[in-house]
Amino acid sequence: MPLLFKIKLIHKICNSAKNELFFTNLIIDNDIMDNIDQIILGLLKDNARMSVTELAEKVHVSRATIKKRMEYLESSGIITGYTVRFKPNAERNVIRAWMSIMVEGTKAQSVIKELRLESAVECLHKTNGKWDILVELRSDTLENFDKVLERIRNISGIYNSETSILLASHKT
């Protein structure tokens, strides 16, 4: 469902209920979040610099409501920080890749612990299916990238791996 349609639908519900807190609750990571929180997160994901005033206008609630909800989202750990996203290919001399890893038996946690020590690791994802772990890697040169791959492949518990260098990225 498009974001604008969700906002309009929620606005209609608010107006018909005469209460801006009249929403369906959703449970995410054991935290109760309603549709307004979801919309706030979606808007911030697209533009983390959006002002409270602009958020309030887009969600059709007061600035005080946005401020209160953002404070809750931050204090409860749902929002853990704000970051900068670069335009695809804006960073020069950066090699980015995804590494898919198969782990022996039940050694996933020890492999993840070792991967966290590797400075080239940007993000880790534990998955199901053929690959147990997906790793997002970043390096400044191919020579350093090769050294990173060698160090990772030598981690005890890694059974197999496959690496794909990212050639281009597109905003979703």
Per-residue pLDDT 10s for the chain (172 aa) are 444 444 444 444 444 433 333 333 333 443 445 778 888 988 888 888 999 999 999 999 999 999 999 999 999 888 888 877 666 555 566 899 999 999 999 999 999 999 999 989 999 999 999 999 999 999 988 999 999 999 999 999 999 999 999 988 777 6
Rounded alpha-carbon distances, angstroms, from residue 155 to 7, 100, 114, 132, 165: 48, 14, 7, 14, 20
Residue 35 has what pLDDT?
79
pLDDT of residue 157: 96
Closest to 32 (Cα-Cα) out of 82, 73, 60? 73
Output the pLDDT for position 38: 83
The pLDDT value recorded for residue 93 is: 64
Two domains, one topology: 3-75 and 95-165: no
The amino acid that residue 38 corresponds to is Q
Q: How far apart, in whole angstroms, are the C-alpha atoms of residue 101 and residue 124?
A: 11
Neighbours of 8 (CB within 10 A): 12
Q: Provide the CATH topology of domain 3-75.
A: Arc Repressor Mutant, subunit A (1.10.10)
Largest pairwise CA distance in the chain: 62
141: exposed, middle or buried (Cβ count in 10 Å: 0-12, 13-18, 19+): exposed
pLDDT of 18 reads 37
Domain 95-165 falls under CATH 2.130.10.10: no
Measured CA to CA, the distance from residue 59 to residue 5 in angstroms comes to 11
Residue ranges per structural domain of the chain: 3-75, 95-165
Per-residue b or e along 51-89, where b marks 16 or more CB atoms closer than 10 Å to that residue's CB: eeeebbebbbbeeebbeebbeebeeeeebeeeeeeeeee
